[in-house]
Amino acid sequence: MAKRGNFGAMPGNMNNLMKQAQRMQRQMEEKQAELAEKEWEAQAGGGVVKVKVNSEYQLTDVTIAPEAVDPDDVEMLQDLVMAAVNEALKTMEEEKSEVMNSLAGGLGGLGGGFPF
């Protein structure tokens, strides 16, 4: 009669799987902590408007060069500020997404079958 399965090897594989999952969780926590401390900067109008945002979607700094201030064209300044803020937020989101996707990419080595 043929021997089926090798269930005796499962506990070792399960231990390796758990160690890998714990390592990935630590890496994800470390990356999240790094991202929480980071600020992203963007500019508009060739650098006359510069902004910084943090991972909490908060605007933390705005720098406006004097030449960007034209009392007769306030709308231009508003547009520059909005463009810079939106670019900083976009950059932050892209980086956060890349970091999390790179970590989640390692889940394939956990045995597959995960929907993410």
- Tell me the domains of the chain and their CATH numbers: 10-105 (3.30.1310.10)
The pLDDT assigned to 1 comes to: 55
Q: How far is residue 33's CA from residue 106's CA, in Å, rounded to a whole number?
A: 19
Query: Bridge-partner residues for 41, per DSSP?
Result: 52
The confidence band for 7, taking pLDDT boundaries of 50, 70 and 90, is low
The confidence band for 3, taking pLDDT boundaries of 50, 70 and 90, is low
The model's pLDDT over 70-107, given as tens digits with 9 standing for 90+, comes to 999 999 999 999 999 999 999 999 999 998 888 777 66
**9, pLDDT greater than 70:** no
Instruction: Provide φ and ψ at 48, rounded to 5°.
Output: -75, -20
For 109, the 3-state DSSP assignment is helix
Q: What residues contact residue 107 under an 8 Å CB cut-off, 6+ apart?
A: 24, 114, 116
Q: How far is residue 96's CA from residue 50's CA, in Å, rounded to a whole number?
A: 21
Percent of the chain with pLDDT over 70: 81
